[in-house]
């Protein structure tokens, strides 16, 4: 079973020229073909990145707009599909911090499913609680985010566990492997309750939050099926090392 590796570039790099440099580094090695590798660049770089990654990775979107019709400033599903987008990151904590609710997330998931795009659904607690309260937060967030997703459609989901406190430059570092194993088991249990064992066991659960070349081996041995990578995905050498951890 091939693992998943998703590069979440967020709002970096600052120019298209730099974006193409990163892609050049990525194309120099062929390890990415042995994984399901996706690159999610800022929308404005879609044209050049889509062309540049051909043969090594697929294009992904960092967000989607769950509607059709006329909407100034939005990028609709039809536009994403015209660029060949295969996967959409939905419910990333940085979008939730801008006001995205579980209800919005559930609507977006259904929109991408209808369009034949894979939804990568992000969930994760803001803080870890020594008494395990964060598990209940995780349960409700996942339940509400997946509201209305049918058992049939749940087979197309990917879930990314991304504890908010482990993400980005101000993070406390990645989650500890032991804690990650526990969260993965718990997420599987919730998916189990929602969709039944047969389907739930097959839904890939990924991890994201301060993944880098130094921690990817131990994090990969926790029952996860891949990584969602922010900062380290902008450095071809680190991204390659992370890919190798998953092979
Ligand atoms: P990070 O970001 O790897 O820079 O912590 C991960 C993410 O936000 O998906």
Q: Where are the alpha helices (DSSP H) in 28-176?
A: 46-53, 77-82, 93-96, 102-114, 133-145, 151-154
Quick one: tokens of 110? 């259904």
Q: What is the Cα–Cα distance from 230 to 136, expressed in whole angstroms?
A: 26
Q: Is the CB of 208 under 6 A from ligand 1?
A: yes
Whole-number Cα distances in Å, 119 to 28, 62, 77, 93, 129: 28, 11, 13, 15, 28
Does residue 231 have its Cβ closer than 6 Å to ligand 1? yes
Ligand 1, atom nearest to 232 Cα: 3
How much distance in Å is there from the Cα of 173 to the middle of ligand 1? 10
Q: How far is the CA of 196 from the centre of ligand 1 (A)?
A: 30
- C-alpha–C-alpha distance, residues 128 and 130, integer Å: 7
Nearest CA among 5, 75, 66, 67 for reference residue 45 = 75
Contacts of 9 (CB under 8 A, 6+ apart): 19, 22, 39, 40, 41, 42, 62, 233, 234
pLDDT at residue 129, rounded to an integer: 80
pTM for the structure as a whole: 0.96
Ligand 1 atom closest to residue 212's alpha carbon, by position in its atom list: 3
Report pLDDT for 228.
Answer: 98
Instruction: Please tell me if the CB atom of residue 229 comes closer than 6 angstroms to any atom of ligand 1.
Output: yes
Q: Quick check: CB of 110 below 6 Å from ligand 1?
A: no
For residues 177 and 219, the answer to whether their CB atoms sit within 8 Å is yes
Helix then strand then coil, % of the chain, to nearest 5: 45, 15, 40
Ligand 1 near 91 CB (within 6 A): no
Give 34's contacts (C-beta < 8 A, 6+ positions apart). 2, 243, 247
Q: Which residues contact 158 (CB under 8 A, 6 or more apart)?
A: 4, 87, 118, 119, 120, 121, 203, 204, 205, 206
- Specify the residue with its C-alpha closest to ligand 1, atom 6: 230
Whole-number pLDDT of residue 106? 97
Residues labelled as active-site residues: 92, 162
Q: What is the pLDDT of residue 217?
A: 97
- Say what the pLDDT of residue 127 is: 85
Mean pLDDT per 10-residue segment, the chain (247 residues): 96 97 88 94 96 94 93 94 97 97 97 97 90 89 96 96 91 90 96 94 96 96 97 96 95
The tally of CA atoms less than 13 A away on the side-chain side of residue 161 is 31
Candidate of 8, 232, 235 to mutate for ligand 1, largest count of ligand atoms within 8 Å of Cβ = 8
CA–CA dist 174, 111 (Å, integer): 31
Cα–Cα dist 189/34, whole Å: 29
């Amino acid at each position: 079973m091939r693992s998943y590796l998703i590069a979440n570039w967020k709002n970096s790099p600052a120019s298209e020229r730099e974006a193409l440099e990163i892609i050049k580094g990525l194309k120099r090695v062929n390890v990415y073909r042995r994984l399901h590798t996706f690159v999610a660049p800022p929308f404005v770089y879609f044209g050049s990145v889509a062309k540049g990654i051909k043969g090594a990775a697929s294009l992904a979107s960092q967000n989607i707009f769950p509607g059709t019709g006329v909407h100034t400033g939005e990028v609709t599903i039809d536009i994403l599909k015209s660029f060949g987008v295969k996967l959409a990151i939905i419910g990333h904590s940085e979008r939730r911090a801008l006001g995205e609710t579980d209800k919005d997330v559930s609507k977006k998931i259904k929109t991408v499913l209808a369009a034949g795009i894979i939804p990568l659904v992000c969930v994760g607690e803001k803080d870890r609680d020594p008494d395990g309260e964060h598990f209940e937060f995780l349960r409700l967030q996942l339940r509400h985010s997946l509201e209305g997703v049918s058992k049939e459609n749940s087979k197309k989901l990917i879930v990314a566990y991304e504890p908010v406190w482990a993400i980005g430059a101000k993070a406390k570092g990645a989650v500890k492997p032991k804690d990650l194993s526990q969260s993965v088991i718990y997420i599987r249990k919730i998916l189990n309750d929602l969709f039944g064992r047969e389907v739930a066991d097959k839904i890939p659960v990924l991890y994201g939050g301060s993944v880098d070349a130094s921690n990817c081996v131990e994090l990969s041995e926790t029952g996860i099926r891949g990584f969602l990578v922010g900062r380290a995905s902008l450095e071809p050498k680190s991204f390659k090392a992370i890919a190798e951890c998953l092979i």
